[in-house]
Structure 1
């Protein structure tokens, strides 16, 4: 039975240093390191977190393999510390039936991360007819979403949330009112300077407010994708205080980048929803830290270079995030001197696993007898180089940015899926 030894590491949320022995698919033992030995290396020790869980990934397969495949996307995920991904349904063809869900699962059987298919909310993402929620739920689907498009029809959302209440699933909404946003491509505040249509924050808030009222009426679970505005934060905060069945996510790029960055860097930073103001960034960061926003989700949206080129109106929406999400989150969850690794584990592992209803296999504490599914993070300053990536696509919003922490090892049920502790990363074993 293969063994893996980690010596003198810290476990997120646990004091002191430990040695960890992995035997097969389980953690065989965790042994405390004596304080006299730990004292000299504690502040610089590697940190072990439960395997990260992304509730919002675009893997592009089938139909978009030029940008990403399940193989390349899960390897990129492993390089970022992720062991579980929820794959969005906006592929070609759309994942809107049991057969198509099973096909994604079949492709992912030997992947470097577990893939949990998200089913479309409406057939073909067309926003007209609901998918067969009962059959999909019977097949194990827990999350339904037309992400990339908003389910803008209130009657459809009402029916969908009733179905969620009945079956226990989650509706993940891309909040974007077409009548308000129309052809907007950047935050409305800067649109005039760029001479392009604006994407106002009210287009997000109008849908969230309506959907919260429908969640209150039905008891169906609503998950708000990629919250980007201070107004949206306040709507979610009020709903949480009222005890409504709502959860929310924020992306790494909305935590640290603004519309000023978008103006400076151009269509390379075109994303949906767009980057907002510094005030909005401060609001979503505070909401993540106080628990109003539950999780960080990558919205990893790979594109070939040719589709990100051109004008603001021609370039594709979307940014890649799997390989940098941990670094961004660690930067946000710090008081300037130390990282709150328990908070990082909560927003990148425990809570997304709970929301996606895979807590039995993911997001579990790192403990003796538990599954050997974790990642190891090292304090090691590094600069993002789009050429040094695992994803097929290079459209990272963080090119040239320096971060302080990086994943150096990812283990899934005892199998090493990423290892860069030495000079070169070792590939996932066949």
Structure 2
């Protein structure tokens, strides 16, 4: 592979440095570097980060290729600065066996825009009744370590306990979609003042918090790892904070949209704002930002959930839940966390690369920008500002909640093991 010399980049937002990539490895980091025959990328004013890692991506393949495919989803990931994504199991067929997770893993290797690490289902068919082939998925070529029925909650306490006991044997983690199903029957949005005024079925915070409380206690009892998907309420934050103070092996993620958007947007009845868990209140948003800043919430995960136009361009009650997020995640984090001074760029690298890679046991990602490390890198222009144009998205679907909203920052380059997947804003 050829050499690439990145000049004048602010590594993790610090002082300008030159970074030399040789093959798939960072060969040197310093000032005044030179390399004969190297492709030079002038990066003055831009921030260089380790390649971003997403713990929560819906690639839809197999079965819903009208929404997204592994190819289109990983292209969107590269455009957003990601070098690895974890593909959720709610596909058709469900990724509940070694054969399906290997199919997804091989598709990721074939397309090459970013690494794809499949997430295995906890239960057969996501039905919550029988444990899936957890060991077989772990022992497969895909080497699955994260298991989730995301989209559905593992609401049976016995099944959840057994899953935690099973994955403990090989250091795996159960990622829980915390939603008590009986408390959310017919729910359409966050339960509160806005739902009452609009006459939409309310989705109470306690439906999330009660499951989190149960599962952190189960994880402590078993001595296993539990990860809480898409935390969305101030009460959930306090539960995770309490668990960590106890020293229990509990981690949590927050989505970009829960860091920025509130249930007030539902007043438009625009189904683009319909998501699971629902958009919450300003109080919840501020609590989530504080928790991400202080480390109570470990990482940002996109919950990239693409849908074709017909599944969103309909009345609110019939619309699918979910938003695309891979291409805008870093911009939203810059706006909500970096620009207000809650987090610096080194913190962004920790929350969007190092921590998700560690939770997913993903080798070669989330590493420091240092000599000898894999050249998985993202270059960002933080001074760029532009409105989001859904038509310009790389994802196959266009259900972004940020259409027309001006967001800061732009990923200009992404390198996966030294190979440019995005160069000057163009996919390679």
TM-score, structure 1 as length reference: 0.93
Give me the whole-angstrom Cα distance separating, in 2, the residues matched to 1:336 and 1:288. Answer: 13
Q: Displacement of 1:132 after TM fit?
A: 2.0
Residues 137-165 of structure 1, C-alpha deviations (whole Å, 9 max, x = no match): 22211000000000111110111111122
Aligned residue number for residue 128 of structure 1: 129
Give me the whole-angstrom Cα distance separating, in 2, the residues matched to 1:291 and 1:265. Answer: 34
**1:31 counterpart = 2:30:** yes
Aligned residue number for residue 271 of structure 2: 267
Aligned residue number for residue 321 of structure 2: 317
Aligned residue number for residue 95 of structure 2: 95
**What are the within-5 Å matches in structure 2 for residues 131-170 of structure 1?**
131-139=132-140, 140-170=143-173
Give me the whole-angstrom Cα distance separating, in 2, the residues matched to 1:336 and 1:177. Answer: 34
Residues 57-95 of structure 1, C-alpha deviations (whole Å, 9 max, x = no match): 000000110010000000000000000000000000000
Give me the whole-angstrom Cα distance separating, in 1, the residues matched to 2:252 and 2:196. Answer: 30
Secondary structure of the residue aligned to 1:109 is helix
Change beyond 3 A, Cα 1:292–1:161: same
Aligned residue number for residue 348 of structure 2: 344
Range with bigger deviation, 130-139 or 145-154: 130-139
Give me the whole-angstrom Cα distance separating, in 2, the residues matched to 1:120 and 1:263. Answer: 35
Change beyond 3 A, Cα 1:339–1:243: closer
Secondary structure of the residue aligned to 1:333 is helix
Give me the whole-angstrom Cα distance separating, in 1, the residues matched to 2:343 and 2:406. Answer: 16
Q: Displacement of 1:348 after TM fit?
A: 0.4
Secondary structure of the residue aligned to 1:288 is helix
Aligned residue number for residue 186 of structure 1: 189
Secondary structure of the residue aligned to 2:209 is helix
Give me the whole-angstrom Cα distance separating, in 1, the residues matched to 2:285 and 2:15. Answer: 34
Q: Displacement of 1:170 after TM fit?
A: 0.4
Aligned residue number for residue 367 of structure 1: 370
Give me the whole-angstrom Cα distance separating, in 2, the residues matched to 1:415 and 1:184. Answer: 46
Residues 387, 405 of structure 2: 8 Å contact kept: yes
Range with bigger deviation, 176-185 or 263-272: 263-272
Range with bigger deviation, 397-406 or 73-82: 397-406
TM-score, structure 2 as length reference: 0.94
Residues 105, 116 of structure 1: 8 Å contact kept: yes
Residues 110-169 of structure 1, C-alpha deviations (whole Å, 9 max, x = no match): 320100000000000011000122222222110000000001111101111111222210
Aligned residue number for residue 40 of structure 2: none
Residues 16, 33 of structure 1: 8 Å contact kept: no
**1:247 counterpart = 2:251:** yes
Give me the whole-angstrom Cα distance separating, in 2, the residues matched to 1:290 and 1:123. Answer: 37
Residues 81, 414 of structure 2: 8 Å contact kept: yes
Give me the whole-angstrom Cα distance separating, in 1, the residues matched to 2:46 and 2:149. Answer: 39
Secondary structure of the residue aligned to 1:416 is strand
Aligned residue number for residue 18 of structure 1: 17
Give me the whole-angstrom Cα distance separating, in 2, the residues matched to 1:263 and 1:244. Answer: 40
Give me the whole-angstrom Cα distance separating, in 2, the residues matched to 1:320 and 1:279. Answer: 24
> Which blocks of at least 5 consecutive residues in structure 2 are unaligned?
34-42
Q: Displacement of 1:196 after TM fit?
A: 2.2
Give me the whole-angstrom Cα distance separating, in 1, the residues matched to 2:187 and 2:32. Answer: 56
Give me the whole-angstrom Cα distance separating, in 2, the residues matched to 1:44 and 1:250. Answer: 31
Give me the whole-angstrom Cα distance separating, in 2, the residues matched to 1:10 and 1:253. Answer: 27
Range with bigger deviation, 382-391 or 336-345: 336-345
Secondary structure of the residue aligned to 2:56 is strand
> Which blocks of at least 5 consecutive residues in structure 1 are unaligned?
35-42
**1:79 counterpart = 2:79:** yes
Residues 16, 32 of structure 1: 8 Å contact kept: no
Give me the whole-angstrom Cα distance separating, in 1, the residues matched to 2:339 and 2:89. Answer: 37
Q: Displacement of 1:328 after TM fit?
A: 0.9
Change beyond 3 A, Cα 1:337–1:96: closer
Range with bigger deviation, 392-401 or 330-339: 330-339
Aligned residue number for residue 175 of structure 1: 178
**What are the within-5 Å matches in structure 2 for residues 319-338 of structure 1?**
319-334=323-338, 336=340
Change beyond 3 A, Cα 1:101–1:338: closer
Q: Displacement of 1:224 after TM fit?
A: 0.3
Change beyond 3 A, Cα 1:339–1:167: closer
